[in-house]
Amino acid sequence: MSTALKPSILIIYTGGTIGMITEPLTRSLVPVDFNEISAQLPELLRFDLNLSTYTFNPVVDSSNITPKFWIELAQVIGREYLNYDGFVILHGTDTMCYTASALSFMLENLNKPVVFTGSQLPIGVLRTDGKENLLTAIEIAAERKNNQPMVPEVCVFFQNKLYRGNRTSKHNAEYFNAFVSENYPPLAEAGISIHYNYGAIHYPVNQKQLKVHTLLNDQVAILKLFPGIRQDFVETFLALPWLKGLVLETFGAGNATTADWFIDLIRAACDRGVIILNVTQCPAGAVNPGKYETSRLLHHAGVINGRDLTTEAAITKLMFLLGQVLYPDIVKEYLNVSISGEITI
């Protein structure tokens, strides 16, 4: 932990819209060095904090994020963990929730803030949302009470609200309120003051040493059901020889077609060791196996109840658990356990 009198915050710039400028010839947005951002924000100098920056080289557009990037980001935090009181990660919005979810599993025993933020408009644009997002994220990462971090978990701050990272999804590509957390309340809301929802924040009981997990298994996939999905497509999809884990996006409370061919294919995949996790396509709510016949059959075929997991948390949790090379029954057990507040038990 930092011994400085002033809190020390590391700002990690990975890429994304917040650090984009317009390329003169093509008029398209291209990423720039973090120095371009800091030059736009003289307000940073007004913080009574020790601020440092780390820039990925090269910076990464959020559409190009991979599990390899998550490992590199987790390793940066691991190396700098004892040197800083909190971390602010500037990240593209499109896959921010995937990265925040992954890190929530990879950073075991985390007891410092890791706050993701970004923007819908580049920080150099007059109407940018980036300035307020960044400044408030820094303030939250530095906030302490009784000499303890106010929000010691992986979270996302955007448009005045702080959410648990693995409960968040991007729902809007046009407006500044880009993110929602339908199944879990905000950890904080920023107005004239920042109001913290203490009952929603996870505070570790024991201060243990941070353990950074760097093993992820990308032999996973997402299958979104739709009316009229073809048998030959599902059969080919489930027969992929490398497939180890599948997030099945079902209707409503976990429902799917009861056609014999579909249930038989799902059962056969489960029998040969593919771990299938059932999550709802609905933005809010949870899988409730057995409520309808259409979900009960999936459950009996061997599909795991994903409860109220977001798709982002479901796929990254599968990658994380499969990466630990656990026995399949242990993986299934942990899928129904809240590792870092990602599901409601």
Sign for the CA dihedral angle at 254, 258, 259, 265 comes to: positive
Name residue 117's beta-bridge partners. Answer: 90
Count of Cβ atoms closer than 10 Å to residue 202 Cβ: 18
From CA 156, how far away is CA 95, in angstroms rounded?
12
Q: Say whether 161 sits in a helix, a strand or coil.
A: strand
Distances (CA, A) of 192 to 102, 123, 239, 293: 32, 22, 55, 50
* Length of the chain, in residues: 345
**By the 8 A CB rule, do 158 and 177 touch?**
yes
Distances (CA, A) of 294 to 47, 105, 289, 299: 56, 31, 9, 9
**By the 8 A CB rule, do 72 and 60 touch?**
no
Sign for the CA dihedral angle at 96, 182, 322, 236 comes to: negative
Q: Where do we find the tokens 């599909």?
A: 303
Which residues are marked as active site? 17
**By the 8 A CB rule, do 116 and 304 touch?**
no
